[in-house]
Amino acid sequence: AAQPYDAIVLGAGAAGMMCALTAGQRGLRVLLIDHGDAPGRKILISGGGRCNFTNLHTAPDRYLSANPHFAKSALGRYSPQDFLTLIERHGIAWHEKTLGQLFCDGSARQIVDLLMQECAEAGVTLLLGHPVAAIAQRDGLFHVTRNGIDLAARALVLATGGPAIPKLGATGFAYDVARQFGLSVVQPRPALVPFTLGAEEALFQSLSGVATEVEVHWQKTRFREAALFTHKGLSGPAMLQISSYWQHRTPIAVDFAPDAAPGWLVEHKQRQPRGAVRRVLASGLPARLAEVLAERLGLDGELGTITDKRLRAAEAQLARWPFQPNGTEGFAKAEVTAGGIATRELSSRTMMATRVPGLYAIGECVDVTGWLGGYNFQWAWASGWAAGQALAEA
């Protein structure tokens, strides 16, 4: 039989490529396998084609996980600056957009090319285009059957991501392999995903395409970013962010006037008693939204005709407008999967399964999920680097 590899990495996405090149650079014989015809397909479509490849404000509290401490070690040892150094070494031009989000000036293709070049220079073998049929462990080796051929390695790294956007070849394969080896999986759910609203909110569906800056609240969590009305419900960065925290059958609350001072409607009335409510609202909000909100509040007509009490109640409602999503657009539209391989099964330093020596899990398939804005790629780089480094030390 052929000489076994030091490591087989399953999944040539962000995490898998980073792990493979890190281990390869340290002299390991690494085989990288993907069932797709090309590596890094999610990278290519990410960040609107420009890849939001990291976030300068990366910190463990911007990640969701059953164990909020788990991501600290890897994130602490491979930082946004480390990835930026790599980007600059390859001469890739980049810019900061908002909120610490870094994008390529050119195209996400440059990130995939960088990773592929680093893999090639590190001697990584890449096999594309066939699914893995079976995985087994015997004689101290992991055996992977692919296209009728048995491939063996001392270590196996699960980097096949989660089931978000199945039409890009995303699968729950990593969970199946984890369960095969007796590892528990935290129920995967769509995250960074648009909400759907029921028929009772039909008025808002007429606003499809309207966007405005809001502060959205769910329990104690809040985000201040743009919200977008869609024909199905609510999207935009604010809604995607809060969707990762949201639980079914609970309301979210939207502050449509996050900068307004207390008493602003009453004050407006004193200054402009002849002003129409919807005009006043339209000074800070898109006109169509202002109209729908005024209609929902039952406040038509001039400010001067409305009591202060009703105006104060309207203010309170505008600051905490309740929406009860009836669901989300699901994995088909989710940017990431929350949940995944339970962190308690893994070493936070090496990403190795503590009960299955030689088996590692990295990237999105692990129960660590970042905010919108480059945090998920930073987790992929950091966890991939940690495992690649650990493979070389093992």
Q: Judged by CB under 6 A, does residue 24 bind ligand FAD? A: no
Q: Which of 47, 188, 339, 340 binds ligand FAD (CB under 6 A)?
A: 47
Q: What six digits make up the tokens of 63? A: 């990640």
Q: What six digits make up the tokens of 302? A: 């001039």
Residues numbered 116 to 175 that lie near ligand FAD (CB under 6 A) are 131-132, 159-161, 164-165, 169-171, 173
What does the alpha-carbon distance between residue 40 and residue 47 come to, in Å, rounded to a whole number?
Answer: 13
Instruction: Considering the complex, state which of residue 234 and residue 336 has its C-beta at the smaller distance from ligand FAD.
Output: 336
Q: Judged by CB under 6 A, does residue 189 bind ligand FAD? A: no
Instruction: Considering the complex, state which of residue 33 and residue 214 has its C-beta at the smaller distance from ligand FAD.
Output: 33
| Residue at shortest CB range from ligand FAD | 13
Question: Least distance from C-beta 19 to ligand FAD, angstroms?
Answer: 9
Distance, CA of 306 to chain centre:
45
Under the phi-then-psi rule, with left for phi > 0, alpha for psi from -120 to 50, and beta for the rest, what region is 181? Answer: alpha
Q: Which of 7, 8, 9, 10 binds ligand FAD (CB under 6 A)?
A: 10
Q: Judged by CB under 6 A, does residue 62 bind ligand FAD? A: no
Instruction: Considering the complex, state which of residue 227 and residue 338 has its C-beta at the smaller distance from ligand FAD.
Output: 338
What does the alpha-carbon distance between residue 271 and residue 281 come to, in Å, rounded to a whole number?
Answer: 15
Instruction: Considering the complex, state which of residue 160 and residue 389 has its C-beta at the smaller distance from ligand FAD.
Output: 160
Torsion of CA 42, 44, 50, 54, to 10 degrees: 40
For 132, counting Cβ atoms within 10 Å of its Cβ (0-12 exposed, 13-18 middle, 19+ buried), the class is buried
Q: Judged by CB under 6 A, does residue 41 bind ligand FAD? A: yes
Instruction: Considering the complex, state which of residue 147 and residue 208 has its C-beta at the smaller distance from ligand FAD.
Output: 147
Q: What six digits make up the tokens of 27? A: 């002299």
Q: Judged by CB under 6 A, does residue 205 bind ligand FAD? A: no
Q: Judged by CB under 6 A, does residue 46 bind ligand FAD? A: yes
Measuring CA to CA, which residue among 192, 191, 184, 193 is closest to residue 340? 184
6, HSE (Cβ side, Cα atoms, 13 Å): 23
Contacts from 138-143 at CB under 8 Å and sequence distance 24+?
A: 141/4, 142/8, 142/358, 142/359
Q: Which of 36, 233, 236, 325 binds ligand FAD (CB under 6 A)?
A: 36
Chain residues binding ligand FAD by CB under 6 A are: 10-16, 33-36, 41-42, 45-47, 51-52, 131-132, 159-161, 164-165, 169-171, 173, 335-336, 363-364, 374-377, 380
